[in-house]
């Protein structure tokens, strides 16, 4: 496949496999896990391992240095994470407390008005992906959280 013809999503970049399922190359240091999605971005196939060169090709990344391809793939992975977080927070509300305002899920509104700090801890334990926003979670770890939620 030389250019993207399907809706695809990067699900992870790691060393869980050393073989590209596209070209068959082995002994790879890392692979990019890519899955097909529907028009709404919902994954409907198991992720497939691609070497970074093949992943770059099917994700529409121009041929450049390996480092540039990996950089662009990381940007696409971050887009996946940010879209996931945006969808997660779509129905959240802003709650104003005496300590300031807080963006929270509907099920935590009451706790937020009573004890905002306890609400923050509870929200972070229920939604660990939010640690990515604070820089406390790697791209790979965030993608793993998303993959396990599917």
CA distances from 2 to 45, 61, 63, 108 (A): 20, 10, 11, 47
Token pair belonging to 59: 């994700």
- pLDDT for the residue numbered 57: 86
- pLDDT for the residue numbered 128: 92
- pLDDT for the residue numbered 150: 56
- pLDDT for the residue numbered 58: 87
* Chunked mean pLDDT (size 10), the chain, 150 residues: 64 92 94 88 88 87 74 87 90 88 91 90 91 86 82
pTM: 0.57
- pLDDT for the residue numbered 9: 86
Measuring CA to CA, which residue among 37, 31, 78 is closest to residue 53? 31
Q: What is the DSSP string of 14-77?
A: ESS----TTT---S-S-EEEEEEB-TTS-B-S--EEE-HHHHHHHTTPPS--HHHHHHHHHHHH
């Amino acid at each position: 496949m030389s250019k993207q013809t399907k809706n695809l999503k990067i699900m992870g970049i790691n060393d869980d496999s050393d073989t590209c399922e596209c070209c068959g190359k082995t002994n790879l240091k890392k692979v990019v896990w890519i899955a097909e999605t529907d028009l709404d971005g919902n994954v409907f196939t198991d992720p497939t391992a691609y070497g970074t060169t093949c992943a770059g090709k099917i994700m529409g990344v121009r041929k450049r240095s390996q480092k540039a391809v990996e950089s662009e793939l990381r940007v696409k992975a971050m887009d996946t994470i940010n879209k996931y977080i945006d969808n997660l927070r779509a129905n959240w509300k802003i709650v104003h407390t005496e300590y300031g305002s807080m963006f929270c899920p509907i099920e935590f509104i009451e706790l937020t008005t009573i004890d905002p700090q306890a609400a923050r801890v509870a929200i972070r334990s229920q939604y660990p992906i939010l640690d990515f926003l604070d820089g406390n979670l790697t791209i790979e770890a965030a993608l793993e959280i998303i993959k396990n939620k599917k």
